[in-house]
């Protein structure tokens, strides 16, 4: 997609994915035997909380023990400062959808970057909210890219048990001490933990083992409409092209401690199909009394008839002509990954979390996961037309709208998919129906053998977690700006730790974990330190 | 329909018809030559307001001049009291949808009936809001039935230029003095004018020329759910069966002074089609992340596919099996009425008011009117499912709803049409989709040669208005309780005068008209007096 003006609103797509697709990738309770001996596991489950907490991170076997001991000590010493930094950040709301606190949030983030050691950190103007570009030159041979967001989703204080911008420390039964507030997990908590890692390394008197190139946006929650304007500036492109990959700090652990990694994500188009008498030239332009249906065409029926042409009669398979022509079938290697994931993930748990009894076409668990990874989709997000209140109202509406999202797999593109949709409607006699794209972008893909993926996997394993690896997320994030032309970077989220409630009330991020399988903030900070050292040493 | 529990809510269907179907029946500017000589018409258009007002009612040539002169004098003498009675009534809101002031409104109406001469006037309990049954025995040979509503539609004071329950007298440019308030035209204004007619006749020392049987409901604006419980009580049935017809006082004049009469009305079913994972057993029970479309069925698509089977591919003709099997084709006599109406009514004006350029199938004006009168319909009132706010939200909704209304012509019945809809859905594989009927009833029909219709027509003609007569209204009102088994009464609205804004802000009823073609309240009162005397003398 080259036209950024199309990217108006995709509702914090990527963040939602992390929160809501847990159900897509729920792991079994039992970690795989080779990485998590059952005797250890019993100990975790049976021991006292303190003993368990000590046992929970037994595998931080660093490749550089001296450095690591010192850094670990710094992490613990700086724990309170790290928590306070996160609280300060949460207390500065930056909500793009409300144009609230954007400059303040941007400037606070720039200041925090400078304090964490970035020599260069500048606000980057866009046609929307400003982004940030920053670099930290450690004189290291390797450079890692970082993707941040500084905006957060809206929050209605009435729905929260602790005010969303107070960032209170709250004891959450079964989990431990958490910071509660908007942005706690999405995304300030993990991002602050990464900054804490930089402070700890510096505090231990060490030089960062890799250089950093940083880009941030303030419009993630409204669909990253101007993100290409930040990434595609010459200085950013010049710096990013030397990176061995780019990642976003993330709290990747589920409540069971497990982690699922994805090698990319589907692309997406969000659009509205608008059928109106105004545009059609038939039927009424505004709502009229429904008795007139006997003599007037109906834009609502027109929309229904158009929608019915977009999918197979069971509503499941896209029927838009040429839409999926370029969809690349999943490879044998991807099929193997999925089969392994199907073996490790619990179908029953996934169905329970989704509240479903049947997969589409009644396929098996493995096939359901294959469809999830590989299938382009045409989904109805919403229908809204005419009278939508309680009971009825006898009108013939002048307008009806369907909100769709179309998911794209490699090598489909958002531009081609949109063009196919429009051409299909025109050919079927619905050319008058307006297609208004409100957000979207291309799919992205990272090779399984990329150094970034390899090191991330190793860090998880050192932490006692054998991640499930999937060919891609069925959700979407705008990683195409990194993985696509011309950068071709590996990209994806990474980080231990846990939080939940993204886009929901009582969002939280675990500070001190009482769950032996889940890392608190210090564990998350360590995972970032491990990543940096791991990348420095990767072959 | 025998099951009154189905009649939950059809949004003040009949009242809306009057207000919104004006566009269906807009008359030509030119009254027909034989009843309204063009010289007179020119005088109306050219004369000063006062001269025009004097000329506007030259044809109140009563069959009983002595009586009429005395009564007319009483009407004028009692004008202020009549207006005050209406204002007092408007100042007592009775809003069934909000269960507000219902008992007070019912009791006030009962009191007003007694003051107007009804010897018997009692509150009639129902399973919902109370109705009223009243009788006025004048010892006359003939008896007329009356249908009233004492409830009004909701009103948001913020939208009104004069508070909706203050009943202020307001000068409306081009129209004259109006009373503004909720219920002014729908229906308290015309109803109060009828009561004023009774006061005037009594005040003139005359006996009422016919006896009256009165039924009222307080749930007209929520679809008359318990109306049969009022009408079908033995004492009401015994009294009603002697009536030569039943009418509701109405302000039937358009801004151009013209009147359109309808010999009945279509029946209606309002219902919701609810497609849900809960009921279907496929797809999610609640909204889940839209990426899951790849592996889950979609209740929203299921609804779209079901809807598409209900109509022809252009969305215009019902395709529900057996739905219209009993639809009676329009007769030659009805075709003649429609052809005459097509000649007199302005197609251009109707299209302009509806905001349309084409009739369905691009039919002619006459054919469009024929369809309007004769065609059963399946209309989408509203679509509501999943995310309905601005922009998009990446969900796969667990539920989607279509609000439909189905219009029925004689000899279809609501019960049979509902059964046909359910059977059709089941047969097409959509038996899981719930059909929730929220309101509706059978069509009603009154013979063109009924005495009531004859006298009403004559009264209009005496007032200088040649009404357009249509076989039926394309909208609906629950007149079937009168016209159907076992009463078989002629039924319909009647009355001169004008108002507008039913269900909308700034609802008004004209008190003193400055428009020579439109009668004020006293003219409306006279039209009711004429009707009573006309019926007493009818052959």
Beta bridge partners of B110: none
- Per-residue pLDDT, averaged over A459-486, amounts to 92
DSSP code of residue B501 = -
Strand B143-149, strand B246-249: pairing:
parallel
Q: Is the pLDDT of residue B315 over 60?
A: yes
Q: How far apart are CA A449 and CA A462, in angstroms?
A: 18
Rg (CA), chain A: 24
| Burial state string for A247-281 with b = 16 or more CB within 10 A and e = fewer than 16 | bbbbbbbbebbbbbbbbbbbbbbbbbbbbbbbebe
Residue A151 has a CB neighbour count (10 Å cut-off) of 26
For an interface test with A, which of B221, B379, B390 has the most A Cβ atoms less than 10 Å from its Cβ? B379
Average of pLDDT values for B473-477?
Answer: 88
Q: B166, B91 in Cβ contact below 8 A?
A: yes
pLDDT for the residue B64: 61
Q: Which residue of A has its CA nearest to B300?
A: A380
Q: How many CB atoms lie within 10 A of CB A468?
A: 23
Contact A137, A211 (CB under 8 A): yes
Q: For an interface test with A, give the residue of B270, B276, B285, B292 to mutate (most A CBs within 10 A).
A: B292
The span from the CA of A86 to the CA of A183, in Å, is: 10
3-state secondary structure of B70: helix
Q: Name the residue among B471, B507, B520, B461 with its Cα closest to residue B492.
A: B471
To which H or E segment does residue A293 belong? none
CATH, range A267-327+376-441: 3.30.70.360
Query: Is residue B8 predicted with pLDDT exceeding 90?
Result: no
Q: How far apart are CA A170 and CA A162, in angstroms?
A: 8
- Window 467-496 of B: residues touching A by CB (8 A cutoff) are 473-476
A78, A206, A257, A538 from A202: Cα distances, Å? 11, 5, 29, 22
Residue A465: pLDDT over 50:
yes
- CA B497 from chain centre, in angstroms, equals 15
The whole-angstrom distance between B201's CA and the closest CA on chain A is: 39
A11·B363 Cβ contact <8 A: no
B-chain residues near A270 (CB < 8 A)? 391-392, 394
Of the candidates B253, B260, B259, the one whose C-alpha atom is nearest the C-alpha of residue B518 is B253
- Side-chain-facing half-sphere of A4: CA atoms under 13 Å: 16
Give me the residue label for tokens 């939200």.
Answer: B393
Q: Do A305 and B305 touch (CB under 8 A)?
A: no
Residue the block writes with tokens 């369905």 = B360
CB environment B26-43: b (16+ within 10 A), e (fewer): bbbeebeeebbeeebbeb
Q: Please count the CA atoms within 13 angstroms of the CA of A108 that sit on its side-chain side.
A: 21
On the question of pLDDT at B38 being above 70, the answer is no
H or E segment and range at residue B314: none
Residue A136 tokens, joined:
């930290």
- Lowest mean pLDDT segment, chosen from A26-35, A151-160, A463-472, B336-345: A26-35
Span A119-153, pLDDT tens digits: 999 999 999 999 999 999 999 999 999 999 999 98
What does the pLDDT look like over B340-384, one tens digit per residue? 999 999 999 899 989 999 999 999 999 999 999 999 999 999 999
Burial of B127 (0-12, 13-18, 19+ CB in 10 A): exposed
- A502 falls in which pLDDT band (50, 70, 90)? confident
Q: Report cis status (omega within 30 of 0) of the bond before A486.
A: yes
How distant is the alpha carbon of residue B246 from its chain centre? 14
Query: How far is A351 from A26, CA to CA, in rounded Å?
Result: 10
A283 and B356 within 8 Å at the Cβ level: the answer is: yes
- In angstroms, the separation between the Cα of residue A380 and the nearest Cα of chain B is 6
Q: Is some CB atom of chain B closer than 8 A to the CB atom of A392? A: yes
* pLDDT average, residue stretch B64-84: 92
Q: Are B298 and A313 a contacting pair at CB < 8 A?
A: no
- Which residues have C-beta within 8 Å of that of residue A460, sequence separation ≥ 6? A259, A261, A466, A467, A496, A527
Which chain A residue lies closest to B373 (C-alpha atoms)? A294
Contact call for A305 and B315, based on CB within 8 A:
yes
Half-sphere exposure of A41 (CA within 13 A, CB side): 14
pTM of the model: 0.83
- DSSP-derived secondary structure for B72-108: HHHHHHTHHHHHHHHHHHHTS--BGGGTBSHHHHHHH
What is the band of B391 on the pLDDT scale with cuts at 50, 70, 90? confident
pLDDT at A503 over 90: no
Is residue A197 predicted with pLDDT exceeding 50? yes
Considering only CA atoms, which of B160, B199, B198, B200 is closest in space to residue B182?
Answer: B160
pLDDT band at A114 (very low <50, low <70, confident <90, very high): very high
| For chain A, domain boundaries | 4-27+37-264+446-537, 267-327+376-441
- The mean pLDDT value for A416-433 works out to 98
Residues A441/A447/A450/A453 CA torsion (nearest 10 deg): 70
Confidence label for A77 from pLDDT (cuts 50, 70 and 90): very high
What superfamily does domain A4-27+37-264+446-537 belong to in CATH?
Zn peptidases (3.40.630.10)
Q: What was the pLDDT predicted at A223?
A: 73
Number of H helices, E strands in chain B: 18, 20
Our measurement of the distance from residue A78's CA atom to the centroid of its chain's CA atoms, rounded to an integer in Å, reads: 29
- Chain B partners of A291 at a C-beta cutoff of 8 Å? 17, 20-21, 24, 266, 372, 377, 407, 473-476
| Beta strands A176-180 and A168-172, pairing class | antiparallel
Q: Which residue matches tokens 């003939």?
A: B142
Mean pLDDT within A161-169:
98
Three-class DSSP labels, B375-407: CCEEEEEEEEEECCCCCCCCEECCEEEEEEEEE
- Mean pLDDT in residue range B438-458: 93
Place of tokens 């886009």: A503
Contact residues for A253 (Cβ-Cβ < 8 A; gap 6+): A259, A465, A496, A497, A498, A517, A518, A519
CA A9 to chain centre: 15
In angstroms, the CA B401 to CA A358 distance is 22
In chain B the first and final C-alpha atoms are separated, in Å, by 34
Could you tell me where the beta strands, DSSP code E, fall in A277-376? 288-289
- Nearest C-alpha in A relative to B439: A392
Tokens 């009407």 label which residue?
A: B75
> Which of B98, B291, B364, B407 to mutate against chain A (most A CBs within 10 Å)?
B291
**In terms of Cα–Cα distance, which of A17, A437, A436 is closest to A269?**
A437
Which residue stretches of A232-330 are H helix? Answer: 234-240, 277-280, 299-308
pLDDT of residue A64: 61
Of the candidates B424, B444, B443, the one whose C-alpha atom is nearest the C-alpha of residue B433 is B424
Percentage of residues of chain A with pLDDT beyond 70 = 88
- Mean per-residue pLDDT over chain A, rounded: 87
Q: Do residue A439 and residue B285 have CB atoms under 8 angstroms apart?
A: no
Report the Cα A22 to chain-centroid distance in Å.
11
- If pLDDT is split at 50, 70 and 90, which confidence band does B398 have? very high
The alpha-helical segments, DSSP class H, found in A428-507 are 451-462, 480-483
What is the pLDDT averaged over residues B157-167? 96
* Cβ contact A290–B23 (<8 Å): no
Q: What is the dihedral of CA A390, A394, A398, A402, to 10 degrees?
A: 40
Residue A12 has pLDDT above 60, yes or no: no
> What is the CATH code of the structural domain delimited by B64-264+445-537?
3.40.630.10
**Region of A254 on the Ramachandran plot (φ > 0 left; ψ -120 to 50 alpha; else beta):** beta
pLDDT of residue A3: 30
**Residues of B with CB below 8 A from A305's CB?**
308, 313-315
Kindly state the average pLDDT of the residues B426-437: 97
Distances (CA, A) of B426 to A501, B296, B317, B321, B379: 41, 22, 20, 11, 20
Closest-CA distance of chain A to residue B453, Å: 23
Nearest residue on chain A to B397, judged by CA atoms?
Answer: A381
Q: Say which DSSP state B29 is in.
A: S
């Amino acid at each position: 997609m080259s036209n950024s003006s199309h990217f108006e609103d995709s509702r914090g797509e990527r963040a939602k994915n992390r929160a809501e697709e847990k159900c897509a990738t729920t792991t079994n309770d039992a970690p795989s035997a080779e990485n998590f001996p059952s005797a250890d596991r019993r100990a975790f489950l049976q021991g006292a909380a303190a003993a368990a907490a000590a046992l929970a991170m037994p595998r931080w076997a660093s490749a550089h023990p001296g450095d690591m001991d010192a850094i670990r000590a710094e992490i613990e010493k700086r724990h309170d400062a790290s928590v306070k930094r996160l609280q300060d950040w949460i207390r500065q709301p930056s909500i793009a959808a409300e144009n609230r606190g954007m400059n303040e949030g941007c400037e606070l983030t720039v200041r925090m970057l400078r304090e964490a050691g970035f020599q260069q950190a500048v606000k980057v103007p866009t046609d929307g909210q400003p982004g940030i570009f920053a670099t930290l030159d450690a004189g290291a041979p390797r450079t890692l890219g970082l993707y941040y967001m500084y905006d957060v989703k809206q929050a209605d204080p009435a729905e929260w048990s602790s005010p969303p911008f107070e960032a209170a420390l709250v004891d959450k039964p079964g989990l431990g001490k958490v910071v509660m507030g908007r942005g706690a997990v999405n995304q300030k908590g993990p991002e602050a933990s990464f900054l804490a890692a930089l402070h700890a390394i510096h505090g231990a008197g060490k030089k960062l083992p890799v250089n950093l190139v940083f880009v941030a946006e303030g419009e993630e929650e409204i669909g990253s409409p101007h993100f290409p304007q930040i990434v595609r500036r010459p200085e950013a492109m010049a710096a990013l092209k030397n990176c061995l990959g780019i990642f976003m700090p993330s709290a990747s652990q589920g409540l069971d401690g497990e982690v699922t990694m994805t090698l990319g994500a589907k692309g997406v188009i969000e659009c509205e199909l608008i059928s109106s008498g105004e545009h059609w030239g038939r039927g009424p332009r505004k709502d009229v009394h429904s008795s007139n249906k006997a003599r007037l065409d109906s834009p609502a029926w027109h929309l229904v008839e158009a929608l019915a042409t977009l999918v197979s009669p069971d509503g499941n398979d896209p029927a838009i002509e040429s839409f999926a022509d370029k969809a690349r079938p999943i490879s044998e290697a991807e099929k193997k990954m999925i089969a392994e994931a199907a073996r490790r993930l619990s179908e029953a748990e996934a169905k329970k979390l989704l509240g479903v009894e049947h997969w589409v076409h009644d396929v098996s668990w493995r096939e359901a996961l294959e469809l999830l990874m590989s299938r382009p989709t045409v989904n109805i997000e919403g229908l809204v037309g005419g009278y939508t209140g309680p009971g009825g109202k006898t009108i013939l509406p002048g307008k009806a709208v369907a909100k769709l999202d179309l998911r794209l797999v490699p090598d489909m593109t958002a531009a081609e998919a949109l063009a196919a949709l429009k051409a299909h409607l025109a050919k079927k006699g619905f050319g008058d129906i307006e297609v208004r794209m409100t957000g979207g972008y291309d799919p992205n893909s990272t090779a399984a053998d990329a150094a970034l993926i390899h090191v991330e996997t190793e860090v998880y394993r050192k932490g006692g977690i054998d991640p499930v690896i999937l060919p891609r997320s069925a959700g979407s994030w705008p990683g195409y700006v990194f993985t696509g032309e011309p950068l071709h970077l590996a990209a994806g989220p990474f980080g231990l730790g846990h939080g939940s409630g993204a886009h929901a009330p009582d969002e939280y991020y675990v500070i001190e974990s009482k769950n032996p399988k889940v890392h608190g903030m210090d564990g998350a900070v360590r995972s970032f330190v491990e990543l940096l050292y791991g990348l420095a040493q990767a072959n």
